[in-house]
Amino acid sequence: IALTNAMREALKNDQYELYYQPQNDVKTGVITGAEALIRWKGSNDVFIPPNIFIPIAEQNGFIIELGDWVLETAIKQLHLWEDNDYQLRMSINVAAQQILQRGFVSHLKFLLDTYKVSANKVLLEITESVFLNDSKAIHKTFSAIKALGVKISLDDFGTGYSSLSYLKTFPIDVLKIDKAFLDDYDTQEGAIFIETIVNMAQTLKISVVAEGVETREQVNYLSSLNCGYYQGYVCSPPVEINAFDRLFNEAV
């Protein structure tokens, strides 16, 4: 209860911030996008990590309000990038509850119109837990999102309730291979998993982002598979906006 109240107060007191982690083209290393990741800097500089408060916000419903703040803040930032001619896509995490909430798609459209951003630069990252919900509702929502031109990215692929049938049934544009797979890339079994996922995605014309990439060797390996994109400490951890912009400008 204390944390629930604190989370609400924190929104009023402007204590949340979005950090951005680069997503890079495997072949060229160019930064082609960013994933927005929320940070909570409490009073006295106490830092509360999202994997603590996001699950609580999902339980108590606050994720709807917080998710709206994330969505709007990230779209505002994309507007600034587009104003500066930065060629960047913006990946935004959305909770299952949030995306399936009535009015989500019209609110998304409202934000795209208000901030005049290209819909095709926006990706919504959802985890496989969304598929625990009614598939008709998912279909309706995903189709409406796609009709706006916004893309859908399946986060943490392979760790949740994944069933390959979801990739066939729902309009998924991007698949993010979870870090756990990348950690094992240099074992025979680990490599088989990564290669199978990448090949399947290529067949289905779904693009792939490898997550948690920490070494050059992993990047080279991904390049040999023609895996499209990576994200990880090898380029940068999630950083505040000024540091991200600096990183992007250094690279070009």
Which residues contribute to the site for ligand G (CB under 6 A)?
21, 37-38, 49-51, 54, 67, 70, 93, 95, 155-156, 179, 211-214, 232-233, 237-238
- With beta carbons less than 8 A apart as the criterion, state whether 63 and 96 touch: no
What does the alpha-carbon distance between residue 183 and residue 195 come to, in Å, rounded to a whole number? 14
For the chain, how many residues are written?
A: 252
Closest distance to Mn ion from the beta carbon of 155 (Å): 4
The residue range among 56-64, 114-122, 150-158, 222-230 that interacts with Mn ion, by the rule CB under 5 A, is: 150-158
Question: Could you say which of 35, 58, 128, 155 contacts Mn ion (CB under 5 A)?
Answer: 155
Question: Could you say which of 99, 104, 121, 155 contacts Na ion (CB under 5 A)?
Answer: 155
Question: Could you say which of 35, 58, 128, 156 contacts Mn ion (CB under 5 A)?
Answer: 156
Does position 245 interact with Mn ion (CB under 5 A)? The reply is no
The residue range among 7-15, 113-121, 152-160, 163-171 that interacts with Mn ion, by the rule CB under 5 A, is: 152-160
- With beta carbons less than 8 A apart as the criterion, state whether 26 and 33 touch: no
Strand blocks (E) in the chain:
16-25, 31-41, 47-48, 89-93, 122-127, 151-157, 174-177, 207-210, 229-230
What does the alpha-carbon distance between residue 149 and residue 163 come to, in Å, rounded to a whole number? 25
Residues between 102 and 131 with contacts to Na ion, criterion CB under 5 A: 125
The β-bridge relationship of strands 174-177 and 151-157 is parallel
**Residue 210 contact, options Na ion, ligand G, Mn ion, none, Cβ 5-8 Å cut-off depending on partner type:** none
The residue range among 37-45, 93-101, 149-157, 233-241 that interacts with Mn ion, by the rule CB under 5 A, is: 149-157
Element (H, E) at 198: helix 188-203
Neighbours of 119 (CB within 10 A): 16
Contact residues toward Mn ion (CB under 5 A) are 155-156
Contact residues toward Na ion (CB under 5 A) are 93, 125, 155
